[in-house]
C-alpha cells in the first residue's frame, strides 16, 4: 500500500514530472493525429482509385486493342470457376487525345484520356455513377438534360428553322408535317477540373465558387488517332455532364464518350482495349481469377492485372511515407523517455535518505524497485491518456481547426488545388490507438528501470551514513 501512496505523492508534488507527462502527451497526440490523417488519406485514395477501375482489368498490350471483346467475355463466362466469382464485366476503349475549346475566344488545348464506355455497364463494375451529376447517378446516360439541350440549341440557332411570321388577313399555309428532332452531336462526360477552374479571387476568408469554362450543352473538339495506321481523326462532342471523382488526376484528364461511337470514329470495328471485371469477393478471389484469366489469354497478347497492381507505386509510396513518419514521430516519445531517466535519477539522489529509512524499516529491494517502476508507469499512463484525448479531439475537429488557422493567418493550410480531396481525410483506427498507447507506456516504464534498480540496490547504512 505504501508504494501506491508514495507514487501518488510524487506525482502531485514533483512538478518536474510534468515535463515528462507533457512530452509523452505531445508525442502520443502527434502520433494519433498523423496516423489518422495518413490512414484517412490512404483509405480515401484507395476508394477513389478503385472507383475509377474495376477489380480486375484485362488489357491489350497496345493502343489497337483486341478482337471480339464480347466473345472473350463469353469465354470467361463459360469457365465455371470464373463465372461463379464474377459479378459484372464491360468492354472499354481508352486512348490519348487532344481536347480543344475556347474561353472567351481564346483557344485552349489540353491532353486528355479519351475513354469509350457503355455507361450502364461501367456503373455496374465500380463507383462510376456516383461521380456524375444527380440526374445520372441512378441510370447514367449520355442523353442531354433539357437545360443542356436548350443551351446547345441557343448556340446553334440554325439547327431549328422557324416559319416566317403570319400577318393579319393572310391565308393560313397548309399544315406542315411534324418536325423531326434536331440532330445533336454525340455527347460526353467531361472531367470536372477540365470544365471548371478555381476562382482567382477566392481566399480562405472568402471562398468563392469555381468558374465554369465549359458548360453542359457546349461543344468541345477531340482529336485522336485511328486504329492500325496512325491518322488523326476529330469530332465535336457536346458536354452532357461532369465527372467529379475528387481525384485531381482523373478530373483533369478523363473524358468519357459512347463506346460504339469511339470504335466507329477510330475505325476499330468491335475491338476494345480493356475488359473491366468486378468480382463478388475481391479479397478472397483476386489471385485465383487473375491466374485463370492469365492462363486463358496467355497467347493473345493480353495482360491481366488487379487494380492494386496498376496503382501499386502510388499505394506503396503512401505506405512507405507513413512508416517513415511513424519512426520520426516516435522519437518524440523517445525524448520523453530520456527525460524520465534524467528526472528519476535526480529523484533517487534527492531521496537517498528516504530510501535508506524505508529500507531500515523493512522495505525490500523489490518494494523499492516497484515504487519507481510504478511511478514511471503512472507518468506513462497519465501522459498517454491525456495525449489520446487530445489527439482524438484534434482528429475529429481537424477540418474546423484548419479553417480557423486559415482565417487567422490568411494562408490556405490545406490547398484543395494541390491535394486530392476537398477536406482533410481522417480514419481513427482502434488498433493504432492501442499500439501507440502501449508503446508510450512501455517507453516510460523501460526508461525508469535503471533509476529504479539504482534505488533498489542502495544499502541502508550507506544511505544514512551522514545522517
Instruction: Give me the helix-helix angle, 312-350 and 449-456, nearest 10°.
Output: 20
Question: Cell numbers 522495505 label which residue?
Answer: 363
Cell numbers at 129, concatenated: 455513377
- Provide the pairing of β-strand 254-258 with 302-306: unpaired
Residue 2's pLDDT is: 53
Sign, CA torsion 336/352/378/392: negative
In 3D space, the residue among 78, 120, 122, 79 whose CA is nearest the CA of residue 275 turns out to be 122
Identify the three-state secondary structure at position 56.
strand
Residue 227's pLDDT is: 81
Q: One digit per residue, pLDDT tens: the chain, 467 residues?
A: 555 665 556 555 556 677 778 888 888 998 899 889 888 888 888 888 787 788 899 988 888 888 888 999 999 999 888 888 999 999 999 999 999 988 877 888 999 999 999 999 998 888 888 888 888 888 888 988 888 888 888 887 765 544 444 444 445 455 555 544 456 678 999 999 898 888 777 766 677 788 888 899 888 999 998 887 788 899 999 999 999 887 878 888 999 999 999 999 998 888 899 999 999 998 888 899 999 998 888 877 788 989 888 887 777 887 788 788 888 877 877 887 888 888 878 777 777 777 677 666 666 777 777 777 887 888 889 889 999 999 999 999 998 888 888 888 777 777 766 666 778 888 998 999 999 999 889 988 888 888 888 877 776 656 565 55
Distances (CA, A) of 2 to 6, 54, 316: 6, 65, 53
Task: Evaluate whether 463 touches 349 at the Cβ level (below 8 Å).
Answer: no
**Which parts of 397-428 fold into alpha helices (H)?**
398-409
Cell numbers at 14, concatenated: 514533483
In 3D space, the residue among 450, 454, 459, 466 whose CA is nearest the CA of residue 356 turns out to be 459
In 3D space, the residue among 238, 244, 187, 255 whose CA is nearest the CA of residue 210 turns out to be 244
Residue 189's pLDDT is: 93
Residues 6+ apart with CB under 8 A from 285: 85, 279
Task: Evaluate whether 205 touches 410 at the Cβ level (below 8 Å).
Answer: yes
Rounded to whole angstroms, how far apart are CA atoms 378 and 395? 25
- Give the residue extent of every domain in the chain: 2-46+314-463, 54-158+181-310
**What does the DSSP assignment read for 296-345?**
HTTTTTEEEEEHHHHTHHHHHHHHHHHHHHHHHHHHHHHHHHHHHHHHHH
Rounded to whole angstroms, how far apart are CA atoms 272 and 93? 5
pTM over 0.85: no
Q: Which residues pair with 115 in a beta bridge?
A: 94, 256
Rounded to whole angstroms, how far apart are CA atoms 252 and 195? 9
Distances (CA, A) of 272 to 98, 153, 296: 20, 33, 17
In 3D space, the residue among 339, 329, 335, 351 whose CA is nearest the CA of residue 376 turns out to be 339
Residue 163's pLDDT is: 47
**Which parts of 53-155 fold into alpha helices (H)?**
69-78, 80-83, 119-124, 134-137, 146-155
Residue 125's pLDDT is: 87
Q: Which residues pair with 91 in a beta bridge?
A: 275
The DSSP secondary-structure symbol of 197 reads: E
Distances (CA, A) of 347 to 8, 16, 84, 451, 455: 14, 10, 69, 9, 10
Cβ neighbourhood burial of 173 (10 Å; 0-12, 13-18, 19+): exposed
Positions of E strands within 78-215 = 86-103, 106-117, 187-191, 196-197, 211-212
Cell numbers at 376, concatenated: 514511471
* Burial readout 138-150 (b: 16 or more C-beta within 10 A, e: otherwise): eebebebbeebbe
Rounded to whole angstroms, how far apart are CA atoms 24 and 20? 6
Identify the three-state secondary structure at position 227.
coil
Residue 223: how many CB atoms within 10 A of its CB?
14
Amino acid at each position: 500500500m505504501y508504494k501506491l501512496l508514495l507514487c501518488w505523492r510524487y506525482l502531485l508534488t514533483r512538478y518536474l514530472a510534468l515535463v515528462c507527462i507533457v512530452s509523452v502527451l505531445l508525442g502520443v497526440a502527434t502520433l494519433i493525429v498523423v496516423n489518422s490523417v495518413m490512414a484517412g488519406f490512404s483509405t480515401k485514395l484507395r476508394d477513389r482509385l478503385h472507383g475509377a477501375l474495376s477489380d480486375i482489368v484485362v488489357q491489350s498490350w497496345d493502343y489497337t486493342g483486341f478482337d471480339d471483346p464480347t466473345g472473350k467475355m463469353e469465354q470467361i463466362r463459360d469457365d465455371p470457376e470464373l463465372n461463379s466469382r464474377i459479378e459484372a464485366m464491360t468492354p472499354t476503349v481508352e486512348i490519348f487525345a487532344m481536347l480543344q475549346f475556347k474561353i472567351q475566344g481564346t483557344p485552349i488545348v489540353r491532353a486528355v484520356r479519351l475513354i469509350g464506355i457503355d455507361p450502364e455497364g461501367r456503373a455496374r463494375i465500380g463507383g462510376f455513377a456516383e461521380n456524375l451529376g444527380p440526374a445520372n447517378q441512378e441510370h447514367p446516360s449520355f442523353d442531354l438534360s433539357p437545360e443542356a439541350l436548350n443551351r446547345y440549341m441557343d448556340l446553334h440557332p440554325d439547327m431549328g428553322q422557324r416559319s416566317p411570321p403570319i400577318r393579319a388577313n393572310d391565308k393560313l399555309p397548309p399544315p406542315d408535317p411534324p418536325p423531326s428532332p434536331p440532330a445533336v452531336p454525340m455527347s460526353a462526360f467531361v472531367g470536372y477540373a477540365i470544365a471548371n477552374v478555381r476562382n482567382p479571387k477566392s481566399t480562405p476568408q472568402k471562398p468563392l465558387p469555381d468558374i465554369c469554362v465549359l458548360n453542359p450543352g457546349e461543344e468541345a473538339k477531340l482529336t485522336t488517332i485511328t486504329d492500325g495506321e496512325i491518322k488523326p481523326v476529330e469530332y465535336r462532342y457536346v458536354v452532357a455532364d461532369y465527372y467529379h471523382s475528387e481525384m485531381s488526376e482523373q478530373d483533369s484528364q478523363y473524358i468519357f464518350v459512347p463506346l460504339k461511337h469511339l470504335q466507329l470514329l477510330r475505325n476499330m470495328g468491335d475491338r476494345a482495349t480493356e475488359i473491366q471485371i468486378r468480382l463478388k469477393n475481391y479479397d478472397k478471389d483476386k489471385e485465383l481469377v487473375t491466374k485463370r484469366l492469365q492462363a486463358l489469354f496467355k497467347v493473345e497478347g493480353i495482360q491481366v492485372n488487379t487494380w492494386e497492381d496498376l496503382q501499386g507505386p502510388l499505394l506503396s509510396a503512401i505506405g512507405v511515407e507513413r512508416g517513415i513518419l511513424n519512426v520520426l514521430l516516435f522519437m518524440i516519445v523517445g525524448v520523453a523517455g530520456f527525460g524520465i531517466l534524467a528526472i528519476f535519477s535526480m529523484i533517487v539522489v534527492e531521496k537517498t535518505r528516504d530510501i535508506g529509512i524505508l529500507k531500515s524499516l523493512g522495505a525490500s529491494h523489490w518494494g523499492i524497485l516497484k515504487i519507481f517502476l510504478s511511478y514511471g508507469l503512472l507518468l506513462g499512463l497519465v501522459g498517454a491518456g491525456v495525449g489520446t484525448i487530445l489527439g482524438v479531439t484534434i482528429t475529429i475537429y481537424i477540418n474546423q481547426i484548419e479553417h480557423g488557422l486559415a482565417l487567422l493567418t490568411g494562408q490556405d493550410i490545406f490547398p484543395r488545388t494541390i491535394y486530392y480531396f476537398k477536406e482533410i481525410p481522417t480514419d481513427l483506427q482502434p488498433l493504432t490507438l492501442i499500439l501507440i498507447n502501449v508503446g508510450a507506456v512501455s517507453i516510460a516504464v523501460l526508461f525508469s528501470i535503471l533509476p529504479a534498480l539504482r534505488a533498489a540496490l542502495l544499502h541502508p547504512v550507506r544511505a544514512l551514513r551522514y545522517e
